Amino acid sequence: MPAKRILPYVILGIISEHGQLTGKDITKEFTTDIGEFWKSSHSQIYPELRRMTADQWLKIIPDPDNDKEIHYQLTKAGRRTLNEWLETPNESLPVSKDLFSLKMFFIQDKDDPRMTALIDTQMQLVKKNLAHLNERQQLLFSSEAAINQNYGHYLILQRAIARQEAQLTWLKGLIPVK
């Protein structure tokens, strides 16, 4: 059974936050905050924008200064679709595509020399990501007012930081004492 498409709801949420955006602007959103936990490329986004326009979830607003650039805005049907999705409880846990875990899963011998390199590399990646997340927290949520304005985003960032800290602790425990 094919997986349910989530990207349309992500796009609806992004546009809802900003009022109207170009496809380029939407794609850029996946390189910043939402990109911390959800990835998508322009090759996925633009076909979805066409489908969503055909489904009348979005309307196209031409740019008066640039006839090649169009802006997308939510329609009433799009806003209703987004609200219904936000109100629907999740029915399953997220599927993780974690290459480190997948590679570790297939290592049979506890003394396999590849394991140390995998763990060391993963620790460096986690440390780098944790530093990035902490910088984002300082930049975006340095005041109580900023937290209250985007509370859901704040909570997700806190969760991401906690996960990275827990993973780092777990990875450090894997390194054998010699």
Q: CATH number of the domain that 23 lies in?
A: 1.10.10.10
Predicted confidence (pLDDT) at residue 114 exceeds the cutoff of 90? no
Give the residue from 40, 55, 87 where a domain finishes: 87
Give the residue from 87, 120, 140 where a domain finishes: 87
**In this structure, are 105 and 140 located in the same domain?**
yes
Residue 156 lies in a domain: yes
Residue 93 lies in a domain: no
Q: Under 8 Å CB-to-CB from 9, ≥6 apart: which residues?
A: 81, 82, 85
C-beta separation of 16 from 23 below 8 A: no
- Average predicted confidence (pLDDT) for the chain: 88
**In this structure, are 12 and 72 located in the same domain?**
yes
pLDDT, tens only, 38-91: 888 889 999 999 999 999 999 999 888 887 889 999 999 999 999 998 888 877
Question: Residue 138 belongs to what domain range?
Answer: 99-174
**In this structure, are 83 and 107 located in the same domain?**
no
- pLDDT above 70 covers what percent of the chain? 94
**In this structure, are 25 and 47 located in the same domain?**
yes
The whole-angstrom distance between residue 10's C-alpha and the CA centroid of its chain comes to: 9
Residue 80 lies in a domain: yes
Predicted confidence (pLDDT) at residue 110 exceeds the cutoff of 90? no
What region does 57 belong to: left with phi over 0, alpha with psi -120 to 50, or beta?
A: alpha
Residue 122 lies in a domain: yes
Structural domains in the chain (count): 2
pLDDT confidence band for 1 (50 / 70 / 90) = very low
**d(C-alpha 96, C-alpha 168), whole Å:** 18
**In this structure, are 37 and 57 located in the same domain?**
yes
**In this structure, are 103 and 83 located in the same domain?**
no
**In this structure, are 11 and 53 located in the same domain?**
yes
Q: What is the pTM of this model?
A: 0.72
pLDDT at 178: 46
Give the residue from 58, 87, 116 where a domain finishes: 87
